[in-house]
Amino acid sequence: MKTKKFIVITYLFLFNLICIFSATSMQQLENWQLFVQKSPQQVFELVDANKLPDFEISSTGYWNNLLDNPNKVKYGCYRTVISGLDPSKKYAILQKDSPKTSCAVYVNRKLFVQVGDPFEILKKQPESGSHSIIQPISFEFYPDSNGYAEIIYFIANYFYRKSGLNDTVFFGPAEIFSNNSYISLYAVICGALIFIGLLCLFQFIINRNRKEYLYLGLTSIVLALRISTNGLCLLSIIIPDLPAEIKFKIEYLAMWVVPVCVTQMLHAIYPTKRLKLFKNILIMAVFLLGWASLLLPAYYTNRFIPVLQYSMILVCIYVLAFSIYNLISKKRYAFYNFLSYLFVIIGALIDVLISKGARGFTVSLLPFFLVVFVVIQILMFVKIQNDIYKQTLESSNKLQLLNEAYFRFVPREFIELLNKDSVINTNAGDYQEITMTIMFCKVTIVCEEEAAGHEQESLNEHFVVFTEYLKKVMPVIQNHNGFVSKILSGGFMALFPKSELDAIKAAFEIERDFSYEEHSIKSWIGLNYGKMIIGTVGEENRLDDTVISDTVNTAARIESVCEKLKKPILISQEIENNLVELNGEEIKDLGIEFVKLEEIFVKGKEKPLQLYEVMKNERI
């Protein structure tokens, strides 16, 4: 199992490495000119007049970093020139995110792409940011006959706190872009995250106690939304006219939902009281900031981003420190947590390098590392689930063995008569009133040591012989739908819930003379029928089963008459009436008869008992 998990993690790591170095054939456009508060037409005129731009920059970036008062700048143009191209060859431009919050792209002064409506901002009283849309930019073009291509980005910012050509612009032969299907790859990643998220939520619905599945499910879905609105902005492909305000709010969900869920998930796996207060304060602060960013207008929402970023960094430090602590403390599954968060950190660092203009990367690689994070978490949950299953199975086996051990002292049939499925569910005072047949049996054992006068040796022999006797008798009773409820001194008490005839059949088999080695055993059996209360008595730490009724006492007295009169099997008047009335034909087939005895007084009874001896009918 460990080897399989190692192989899965290794494959995921190699997959990320392949993604990192898969697009070195594309190049980033550099050496841009920035014209502040200038329209495309104005830029055309300035360039034709050989006028200098406001700024010259080596790579893309927000113009806020260049201006003294960036809040007053609402639009501008970025210009770069590519020369030495093959006029007969098709080239392409790729940008994973269009500039905030709308733009138009010109090639050789011809409009190729427009995202949103940046021209609305040129009006004296422009409308609100409803013209803002953000989505990937990808288009193909031919250079002019001289192999020359002039690229101009016209960018308008209606509400965002920063603007400019912030995202890297990639350029290369068109076939390179067509062979690198990043949109399809990102779609697969988002689909995988959503599938994993829904699977985790389903697991939580099945078992509400496993809250870590809820948190991982929400994390996976929110990460999928983040990937689909950031980078290549897959959501804008599905919804082309998705307003930028909604896109930003969906994108920002990951900045507060994921930290909250990851922290809660970690504490669900490793609950601790020491950090509970700090954790709750931290989560509540992030949660309130997140809701504020979700509910406020977009103009204010994006100004919450720095605060959300700092809070997210704080949560990341806390989560990483807690994971390292668990790893050092050698807590179970700590390695999975540490490894998954390490992948996220590596992905985030690479993403920062990309945002700073690192060469060789065409798209953000963080989504790939996020998939690895979720997969490792899933592997950890599978491990936890497997361990829980093993523990449950082990506990179930122990419980079953414990039940079996209890049933050696308290008969299973007795528990079933109480309508209980287990001894564990039985409490002191549980009882049922049942009408059935009860058997009292006393045995006489004749031992040679007793005859020789060796009292202690005789007691030992009595115990051994009585034990062997019970080994033979108890299966007989079970075969006739009865069970031994109590083992008495030199005898036992048995119950027959189904039929009086069961007790009669068992009595005849028991009554046969048993012998063990050189010892003879004689059984005396008294049977009675009537209502009785069976139940458990005692207290929580000491329970015993009992049968209480005058029917029980009478059966014991009938057995004593057996010994006195030397009659092997005696039954009460109630049993004789029931058997003759209900089972007359079957009694004849068994070849037994009931011999009526004279009424006899017994201890504890004011009136004499009418008893019957059960005998084999010798005439049959």
Instruction: Tell whether 367 and 236 lie within a shared domain.
Output: yes
- Lowest pLDDT segment from 74-83, 198-207, 298-307: 298-307
Share of the chain above pLDDT 70, in %: 83
- The top-scoring range by mean pLDDT among 47-56, 242-251, 268-277, 519-528 is 47-56
| Cis ω for the linkage preceding 101 (within 30 of 0) | yes
214 pLDDT above the threshold of 60: yes
Instruction: Tell whether 220 and 271 lie within a shared domain.
Output: yes
What mean pLDDT do residues 108-114 have?
94
- Lowest pLDDT segment from 49-58, 393-402, 495-504: 393-402
Instruction: Tell whether 419 and 453 lie within a shared domain.
Output: yes
- Lowest pLDDT segment from 48-57, 221-230, 403-412: 403-412
Identify which has the larger pLDDT, 16 or 369: 369
134 pLDDT above the threshold of 90: no
pTM over 0.75? The answer is no
Instruction: Tell whether 119 and 86 lie within a shared domain.
Output: yes
Contact 35, 46 (CB under 8 A): yes
pLDDT on residue 16: 47
* Residue 397 is assigned to a structural domain of this protein: no
Instruction: Tell whether 360 and 456 lie within a shared domain.
Output: no
Nearest-CA neighbor of 190 among 316, 21, 16, 366?
366
8 pLDDT above the threshold of 60: no
Nearest-CA neighbor of 303 among 553, 557, 566, 71?
71
Provide the pLDDT confidence category of residue 389 given band limits of 50, 70 and 90.
confident
pLDDT tens for 299-313 read 777 777 788 888 888
How many Å apart are CA 155 and CA 119, to the nearest integer? 9
pLDDT on residue 395: 76
34 pLDDT above the threshold of 90: yes
Instruction: Tell whether 246 and 264 lie within a shared domain.
Output: yes
Q: Kindly give, in sequence order, each residue whose CB lies less than 8 Å from that of residue 138, ignoring residues fewer than 6 positions away.
A: 92, 93, 94, 95, 177
Instruction: Tell whether 36 and 138 lie within a shared domain.
Output: yes
Instruction: Tell whether 165 and 308 lie within a shared domain.
Output: no
Q: How far is CA 587 from the centre of its chain?
A: 62
Last residue of a domain, one of 133, 162, 179: 179
- Lowest pLDDT segment from 155-169, 260-274, 419-433, 489-503: 419-433
Residues in the chain, how many?
A: 620
Contact 19, 152 (CB under 8 A): no
pLDDT on residue 95: 84
* Residue 309 is assigned to a structural domain of this protein: yes
CATH code where residue 137 lies: 2.60.120.260
CATH code where residue 604 lies: 3.30.70.1230
* Residue 612 is assigned to a structural domain of this protein: yes
* Residue 418 is assigned to a structural domain of this protein: yes
pLDDT on residue 458: 66
* Residue 360 is assigned to a structural domain of this protein: yes
126 pLDDT above the threshold of 70: no
pLDDT on residue 89: 92
pLDDT on residue 405: 61
Q: Torsion angle of alpha carbons 470, 475, 478, 483, nearest 10°?
A: 20
pLDDT tens for 317-338 read 888 888 888 888 888 888 887 8
pLDDT on residue 15: 47
How many Å apart are CA 217 and CA 262, to the nearest integer? 10
Q: The domain containing residue 455 runs over which residues? A: 412-616
* Residue 54 is assigned to a structural domain of this protein: yes
What mean pLDDT do residues 65-74 have?
83
Last residue of a domain, one of 179, 208, 237: 179
Last residue of a domain, one of 179, 205, 221: 179
Structural domain tally of the chain? 3
What mean pLDDT do residues 419-438 have?
81
What mean pLDDT do residues 378-399 have?
79
Instruction: Tell whether 120 and 47 lie within a shared domain.
Output: yes
234 pLDDT above the threshold of 80: no
* Residue 394 is assigned to a structural domain of this protein: no
pLDDT tens for 465-519 read 888 888 888 999 999 999 988 888 889 999 999 888 899 999 988 887 666 667 7
* Residue 405 is assigned to a structural domain of this protein: no
SS3 55: strand
Instruction: Tell whether 134 and 192 lie within a shared domain.
Output: no
315 pLDDT above the threshold of 70: yes
pLDDT on residue 37: 93
Query: What number of CA atoms fall less than 13 Å from residue 328's CA on the CB side?
Result: 6
pLDDT on residue 26: 67
- Concatenate the DSSP letters of all residues of 407-426 into one string: HTTS-HHHHHHTT-S-GGG-
Instruction: Tell whether 298 and 370 lie within a shared domain.
Output: yes
pLDDT tens for 523-561 read 999 999 999 988 888 776 677 778 888 899 999 999 999
What mean pLDDT do residues 593-608 have?
87
pLDDT on residue 561: 92
pLDDT tens for 562-586 read 999 999 999 999 998 888 776 667 7
237 pLDDT above the threshold of 80: no
Instruction: Tell whether 356 and 233 lie within a shared domain.
Output: yes
- The pLDDT mean for the chain works out to 81
